[in-house]
Structure 1
Amino acid sequence: MNDRLTALKLFVRAGRLGSFSSAGRELGLSQPSASRLIAALEADVGATLFSRTTRAVALTEAGATYLTRVEAILAALDEADHEARGTGELRGVLRVGTSSCFVLREIIPRLPKFLSAHPALRVELLSNDRYQDLVTESIDVAFRFGSLPDSSAIARKVIDGPRILAATPFYLEEHGTPMMPSDLAHHAVIVGPAHRSPTLSFRKDGRVASVRVESQLSVTINEGAIAGAKAGLGIAALSLNSVRAELESGALVRILSDWDFGSMEVNAVFVSGKTIKPAARAFTDFLVGELRR
């Protein structure tokens, strides 16, 4: 029975990844062992689940149908095991996808508290500053920033924090402190993931002020924008939650704080149509509580 369960888990990952060897590595199996398990599963099922070439494997029509059913069964089994224990204890592996900045600044510092309550759980953090594919990368929950595009994914808002502008005290001493949004036209503004457009818009007392800015530096990761600001390369557009430590230490100074620069949502995203893994639900609840405190 254990071999059959392993084979089913292997089948799901191989179907999503298009590779027996990659799926086998995730489960600690060699490529020959993975191939044998899949062949045995096909024999038990009585159907060819994969078409094979020298370069890749792909699900057959029967395999694609079978995968949909098996994923639901494995998720339901995980849920049943969790409920049967009746202790709230979480086991197995939780795969979390998000940006490197969020992992380093928000998740890892809070992990000891969560893992101490669930010693049998293993967490895998997949940090990447692009949107991960929840299905092919087998991610149980992903934390994403900004308004979500139309998607079949299930989303839950975790926190909604303000966007801000910040620079080093040295930069402001050398170049002056902007007092109005229009002053930013005379400054280098680092464009990062918190705000990618060269046009910045602000609101105050019903007024809207927009200004086009230029910079020698644009970055695709929040840590890059923070590092650029700390290096004195300009004023960075950031999310307040991501830069609290620098503001509290005085390494960076917030500017134009009396103007509303918009907000940055953080959402927990789950694959639609799949039962949410108990560990993913519990970790999201935990993080929501911690971040909203």
Structure 2
Amino acid sequence: MAVFVRVANTGSLTRAARELKLSQPSVSRIVGTLEARLGTTLLLRTTRSISLTDAGALYLDRAKRLLAEMEEAEQATRGVDSLHGVIRLAMPVAYGTRAVIPVLPTFLARHSDLKVELVMSDARQNLITDGVDLAIRINVGPLDGSGFGVRKLALVERLVMAAPAYLVAHGMPATPSDLAKHDCILQHGSFGGESWRFTHNKTVTSVDVQPRFWINSAPGVLAATVAGLGIALGTRVMAGEELRTGQLTQLLQPYRLDPAEVYAVLPAGPRPSAKVRAILDHLAASIGAMTSG
């Protein structure tokens, strides 16, 4: 059952074999034996990919629950100090790089038998099909869990920024309405879109910006802004180092943007395992202390 779950999560017999320290033929044989015992096909195999059948998807959900309960029972017997196994974390690239990875060493030092697999992408993963134990997501306003477990971790300041070279060439916007005359950089699918909402003296102003560049990742937005390609909307965590070193300048400081909220999202289903609860508590304490405000 554990071998089947690993194959389904990775989508690869070869990768599952490597992670389980087994040979690929052994993994294939184990899954085949399971299918024969159940009397149904769980995985559709081609030379290039592996996908779940309907029966496989149903069995995967139940198998994960059973394995989680077994692991919970074992860990309860051994105690929390002997947590072991792999935790699969999904998160946005820039936030993961600058806020999550720096707080992981202290956690892993306390739990030497744990391993962490990071899935870093600015596209939102499907927690179930991608086998994610815990996802970090950033949103403006409350996040709809849609049946998932959601825990708020922190608030992050949002700001408007540009490189000094861009400002020398194009001028400094004095009010949000000035942004309509500037080249702006947008991240596909990120909060804000083409309408940026500011608050000043309790007055709310929304400005439709004119994007000249669209980029699908936060690091790309950051690099393009530092290169002087335009004005961008970002977060203090994303651009803190560049702002401190003068590579970027914060604009329109009297005008405030609603902060971004950082959430931990857990897959729907049984109570999370002890190892997932442990890293969630660590992230809540560490990220909250580092990035809130």
In the alignment, what sits opposite 2:75? 82
Long gaps (5+) in structure 2? none
Return the match for 2:64 from 60, 71, 89: 71
What is the correspondence of 1:196-211 to structure 2 with a 5 Å cutoff? Answer: 196-211=192-207
- Once the two structures are overlaid, the 10-residue window that deviates more, 186-195 or 257-266, is 186-195
What is the correspondence of 1:23-172 to structure 2 with a 5 Å cutoff? Answer: 23-42=16-35, 46-50=37-41, 55=46, 58-59=52-53, 61=55, 65-146=58-139, 148-149=143-144, 151-172=146-167
Report the number of matched residues.
283
What displacement does 1:93 show?
Answer: 0.7
* TM-score of the pair, normalised by structure 1: 0.86
C-alpha distance 149-187 of structure 1, shift in aligned 2 (>3 A): same
Distance of 2:268 and 2:203 partners within structure 1: 40
Residues 186-245 of structure 1: CA deviation (Å, up to 9, x unaligned): 221211254452222211222121222213212121111111111111111002222111
Q: Is the 8 A contact 1:98 1:143 kept in 2?
A: yes
C-alpha distance 18-114 of structure 1, shift in aligned 2 (>3 A): closer
Distance of 1:101 and 1:23 partners within structure 2: 28
Residues 85-136 of structure 1: CA deviation (Å, up to 9, x unaligned): 2243321111111122122212222222221111111111111221112122
Work out which structure has the larger RCO, using CA pairs closer than 8 Å and 6 or more positions apart in sequence.
Answer: 2
Distance of 1:95 and 1:238 partners within structure 2: 26
In the alignment, what sits opposite 1:184? 179
Long gaps (5+) in structure 1? 1-7
Identity %: 35
* Counterpart code for 1:282: A
In the alignment, what sits opposite 1:289? 285
What displacement does 1:170 show?
Answer: 2.8
C-alpha distance 42-189 of structure 1, shift in aligned 2 (>3 A): closer
Distance of 1:132 and 1:120 partners within structure 2: 26
C-alpha distance 37-196 of structure 1, shift in aligned 2 (>3 A): same
C-alpha distance 52-225 of structure 1, shift in aligned 2 (>3 A): closer
* Counterpart code for 1:93: V
RMSD of the TM alignment (CA)? Answer: 2.5
User: Does residue 1:255 correspond to 2:251, yes or no?
Assistant: yes
What displacement does 1:173 show?
Answer: 3.1
Residues 235-261 of structure 1: CA deviation (Å, up to 9, x unaligned): 110022221112222221111122121
